[in-house]
Amino acid sequence: MKKIQIGDMLASQIVLGVMRINEAGKNPVEALETAYAGGINFFDNADIYGRGECETIFGNALKESSIRRDDIYIQTKVGIVPGVAFDFSKKHIIEAVEGSMKRLDVDFLDSLLLHRPDTLMEPEEVAEAFTELETSGKVRHFGVSNQNGGQIELLKTAVKQPLLMNQLQFGVMHTGMVDAGLHVNMADAGSVSHDNGLLEYSRLNKMTIQAWSPFQYGYFDGPFVGNEKFPELNAKLQELADKYGVTPTGIAIAWISRHPAAIQTVIGTITPSRIKEVCDASDVILTREEWYSLYMAAGNILP
């Protein structure tokens, strides 16, 4: 599997997200070992997933597995507070990280992301929290989630640590970041830039985009792979899957991986067979023609 340099981390291009690790009937140990055997060495958590239960299950499964802690990267996200909304105060960030570390049963986190923007954020408080966490050895790398360039720049007025990652929804059915760049100087719907050139901002500032929910369409309306609502897209996915000897799901991941922004893709499945099919397709490199054909099969147009 292709690796991406993120700071001093040589991370797999595919990330296993554990939001669904608490689903009934799942074997979390098998899921982790299948992912690791397929080349995945980066695992994404959040304290909000299962109200902390997912971190506990992940930590226990890691202990039971044959995977060495030092051979993988563990990431979590903090800042969403049930019943409140968002909290980027120094007190909350530090307490949330310590809670996550306890549930994960780890001595440190490889990376910490601020989970969605907090409009009441005070950059100086975040900076104090990050410095304390870094100095104490509890967190090695930092980043954000679902933030735009202006919000990141505001953080950087106080935060001294590099902000290395930004989790954003992206996939062949969530192409807003691409659309705006392709429709520059146009007056159609695709020309609307909702995030002020976030894709280009990320590349210019060497921030790794972590694409979440890559198989969803709409606002969590469901998966598009195999969905009869999207016959043209699925026909093209199947055509390319047959060509490369992988599955349509694998091609949907290859579409993201083909972009030169070196995007990591966060998969949320805990089913070993699904994890394996994604890993098996991780080395597929689509041609430009194939990439654009999928983009247009998804209902997008080119100017």
**Using CA atoms, how far apart are residues 194 and 180, in angstroms rounded to an integer?**
8
pLDDT in tens, 51-110: 999 999 999 999 999 999 999 999 999 999 998 899 999 999 999 999 999 999 999 999
Q: Give the domain ranges of the chain.
A: 3-297
Res 218 pLDDT > 90: no
- The residue from 49, 73, 201, 217 that is catalytic is 49
Alpha-carbon distance of 18 to 15, in angstroms, equals: 10
Place of tokens 């990439």: 291
- Which range (23-27, 125-129, 286-290) has the least confidence? 23-27
Told to judge if 49 belongs to the known catalytic residues of this protein, a careful annotator would answer yes
CATH number for 3-297: choose from 1.10.3720.10, 1.20.1250.20, 3.30.230.20, 3.20.20.100: 3.20.20.100
pLDDT at 153 over 90: yes
pLDDT at 24: 84
**Least confident piece of the model among 13-17, 73-77, 217-221, 259-263:** 217-221
Average pLDDT rounded to a whole number, residues 174-200: 92
State pTM to two decimals. 0.96
Q: Is the pLDDT of residue 117 over 90?
A: yes
d(CA 79, CA 254): 31
pLDDT bin (cut points 50, 70, 90) of residue 169 is very high
Mean pLDDT of 158-187: 95
pLDDT of amino acid 79: 97
Q: pLDDT value at position 118?
A: 97
Q: What is the mean pLDDT of residues 184-199?
A: 91
**Helix, strand, or coil here: 271?**
coil
